[in-house]
Amino acid sequence: MRDQLNIAVADVNPSHWANFVPRAEPAPEAAPRSEEAEAAYLVSAERVLFEERGPFGTVYVLYLGDFFRALGGRTDRLANALHLMGDALLRDRMGSRDSYTFHSKDFFLIRLQERDAGAARIKAETLVGDLGVRAVGESYISWRAIHEREKEKHNP
């Protein structure tokens, strides 16, 4: 299992992580006043789950930065709680051949051993959705909501 985790880390291109520069976070006591400010407290599935294809298969990268922002900022206690919550969820829901690791305090790297790429993507989206609902509740915007919004834009 340790080899699988090392391979998962090696499959992810670290240059992509340069895009995840921590943004200035609003003060926890500052209440959102506009739609733009309120949007800062939402966590969207399309912004937290990324797919990387490498020589040993597909690895899903779950970025936790938006979760921290939605919860009011990153503290050690919050980071530990989110890590434990994600760890428990992944341990309970993943198959015996699947693997994951926590990397760099802001990422879960997930490898799913599904034969069908579509099934693996759906499983990854479901795992992230469950964590999103547990961590931030109604502030989580699921893939289904994103797809429905896109359909409405194209078919008014």
User: What is the token pair recorded at 14?
Assistant: 């670290």
pLDDT at residue 25 greater than cutoff 50: no
Measured distance CA(123)–CA(131) in Å, rounded: 12
Q: Tokens for 21?
A: 């520069």
Residue appearing with tokens 């999103």: 132
Number of C-beta neighbours around residue 119 at 10 A: 11
pTM of the model: 0.68
| Residue 4 pLDDT | 44
Cβ proximity of 58 and 8 under 8 Å: no
* Average predicted confidence (pLDDT) for the chain: 75
The residues with which 59 forms a beta bridge, in sequence order, are 52, 111
With 70 as the cut, is the pLDDT of residue 37 above it?
no
Q: What is the 3-state secondary structure of the chain?
A: CHHHHHHHHHHCCHHHHHHCCCCCCCCCCCCCCCHHHHHCCCEEHHHHEEEEEECCEEEEEEECHHHHHHCCCCCHHHHHHHHHHHHHHHHHHCCCCCEEEEECCCEEEEECCCCCHHHHHHHHHHHHHHHHHHHHHHHEECHHHHHHHHHHHHCC
Query: Where residue 1 falls among pLDDT bands split at 50, 70, 90?
Result: very low
How do residues 125-155 score in pLDDT, each as one tens digit? 889 888 988 888 877 887 667 667 777 777 7
Tell me: pLDDT of 5 over 80: no
Check residue 108 and give its pLDDT: 92
At 79-123, the pLDDT tens digits run 899 999 999 999 999 888 889 999 888 899 999 888 888 888 889
Q: Residue 29 above 90 pLDDT?
A: no
Is 156 or 52 the better-scoring residue by pLDDT?
52
Distance CA 139, CA 80 (A): 20
pLDDT band, very low/low/confident/very high, at 62 (cuts 50, 70, 90): very high
